[in-house]
């Protein structure tokens, strides 16, 4: 099984176009003194990107001349004089830390997975977000991470990476083999949260398929992408292995064709996985990929594209790759910018 999936990953690079950053034109949208645009969203009018950043705010990009403006905040008692402009992770429980964000394309509300304040929502004009849920099955969320929304039902699928460790202690979750992460769903009509699956090792990105028949979930600590089928009135869910990744997978974003970009965190020297060699160094082939920071899969799990960081600093620590309007946008949980690449 292992051999077979490696083989599939290795053989596909022969036929897909590889986006190598150094040979592409790209632009960096520099943030105003903050870092960590972990996830990106575009609103109902196609404006954005919007990003959640280190000081707990959600910022909106308003094109080249006006830059970033504040759109929303998450923490209920956020002290602006302490928080605004902060890059100090110790302050996150006070200031908030919005991670996964996405607009519901029907209501135009922005849903937010804040690492410290759970599942939240804010209207199309922004402001202070409202908390929708902070626990499930009697257990508080500890590290709400990413979400996606079924536009037909409004159901929000989201992840809580750990019930023990907060975002600032993410490394402990990986180091201790913590398996307390959960896949959850919020029903906006019943206004409650159901645990779909628990016992996950650092569940992270989540993305629905085009027709909402399944979702993909990145189980970061095991380097696996799991597929959960959603059709019918299900009360139990059994994941299938969709792909194995050479580095820690982070957010997953579907594009207009229903294919999935899965970002991988290179975090060189920090939490680099030892599986990197399996992808990069055992094979000195012409299509040799040195530094994959994003891999695009079709619905069957075939690799159809790769974004290669070319071992430069620009795409070090990519947390999200999102294809929108002919561009690739990349987020990062540590860098002070968003990268926009002509696709
Ligand atoms: C971060 O904030 C904490 C709490 O206010 C403070 O003790 C610490 O010195 C700050 N760290 C940095 C690097 O500013
Ligand atoms: C959610 O609410 C519905 C309707 O009020 C109820 O039937 C269901 O049991 C609730 N589920 C949970 C997990 O609380
Ligand atoms: C949805 O798409 C999946 C493949 O992605 C396919 O197997 C399934 O039949 C589709 N379902 C509907 C209702 O179209």
Per-residue pLDDT, 16:
52
Mean pLDDT of all residues in the chain? 87
Mutate to test the pocket of ligand 1, among 34, 54, 85, 88 (most ligand atoms within 8 A of CB): 88
- Tell me which residue has its CA closest to atom 6 in ligand 2: 190
Mutate to test the pocket of ligand 2, among 138, 185, 190, 193 (most ligand atoms within 8 A of CB): 190
Give the number of other Cβ atoms within 10 Å of residue 178's Cβ: 19
Q: Is the pLDDT of residue 328 over 80?
A: yes
Average pLDDT over residues 29-34: 97
Per 3-state DSSP, what percentage of the chain is helix, strand, and coil (rounded to 5)?
15, 40, 45
Give the C-alpha separation, 332 to 343, whole Å: 18
| Residue linked to tokens 């201790």 | 176
**CB contact at 8 A, 70 and 24:** no
**By C-alpha distance, which of 294, 326, 250, 246 is closest to 36?**
250
| Residue linked to tokens 């943030």 | 31
The verdict on the CB of residue 5 being under 6 Å from ligand 1 is: no
Residue 173: band (very low, low, confident or very high) from pLDDT cuts 50, 70, 90:
confident
State which ligand 1 atom lies nearest to the alpha carbon of 88. 1
Full-model pTM: 0.90
Q: How far is the CA of 90 from the centre of ligand 1 (A)?
A: 6
Q: How far is the CA of 211 from the centre of ligand 3 (A)?
A: 6
| Residue linked to tokens 């960590």 | 36
Q: Where are the domains of the chain?
A: 2-342
Q: Is the pLDDT of residue 1 over 60?
A: no
Which residues, including other chains, have CB under 8 Å from residue 49's CB and lie 6 or more apart? Answer: 29, 37, 40, 41, 42, 60, 61, 322, 324, 329, 338
Residue 25: band (very low, low, confident or very high) from pLDDT cuts 50, 70, 90:
confident
Nearest ligand to the CA of 192 is 2
CATH number for the segment(s) 2-342: 2.120.10.30
Average pLDDT over residues 54-64: 94
Q: Is the pLDDT of residue 7 over 70?
A: no
């Amino acid at each position: 099984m292992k051999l077979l999936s490696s083989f599939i990953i290795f053989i596909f690079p022969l036929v897909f176009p590889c986006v190598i950053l150094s040979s592409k034109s790209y632009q960096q949208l520099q943030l105003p003194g903050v870092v960590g645009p972990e996830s990106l969203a575009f609103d109902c009018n196609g404006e954005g990107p919007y990003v959640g950043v280190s000081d707990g705010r959600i910022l909106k990009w308003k094109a080249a001349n006006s830059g970033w403006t504040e759109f929303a905040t998450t923490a209920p008692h956020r002290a602006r004089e302490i928080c605004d402009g902060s890059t100090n992770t110790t302050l996150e429980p006070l200031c908030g830390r919005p991670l996964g964000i996405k607009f519901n394309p029907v209501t135009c509300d922005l849903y937010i997975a804040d690492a410290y304040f759970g599942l939240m929502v804010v209207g199309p004009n922004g402001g202070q977000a409202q908390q929708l849920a902070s626990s499930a099955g009697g257990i508080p969320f500890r590290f709400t991470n990413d979400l996606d929304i079924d536009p037909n039902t409004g159901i929000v699928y989201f992840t809580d990476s750990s019930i023990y460790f907060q975002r600032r202690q993410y490394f402990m979750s990986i180091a201790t083999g913590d398996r307390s992460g959960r896949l959850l769903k919020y029903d906006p009509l019943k206004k409650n949260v159901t645990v779909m699956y628990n016992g996950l090792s650092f569940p992270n990105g989540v993305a629905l398929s085009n027709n909402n028949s399944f979702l993909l979930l990145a189980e970061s600590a095991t380097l696996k992408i799991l597929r959960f089928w959603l059709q019918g009135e299900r009360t139990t869910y059994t994941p299938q292995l969709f792909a194995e990744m050479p580095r820690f997978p982070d957010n997953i974003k579907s594009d207009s064709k229903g294919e999935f970009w899965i970002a991988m965190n290179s975090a060189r020297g920090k939490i680099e996985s030892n599986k990197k060699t399996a992808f990069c160094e055992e094979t000195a082939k012409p299509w040799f990929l040195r530094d994959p920071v994003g891999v695009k899969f079709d619905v069957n799990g075939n690799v159809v594209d790769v974004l290669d960081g070319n071992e430069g600093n620009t795409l070090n620590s990519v947390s999200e790759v999102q294809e929108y309007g002919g561009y690739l946008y990349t987020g990062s949980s540590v860098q002070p910018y968003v990268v926009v690449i002509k696709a």
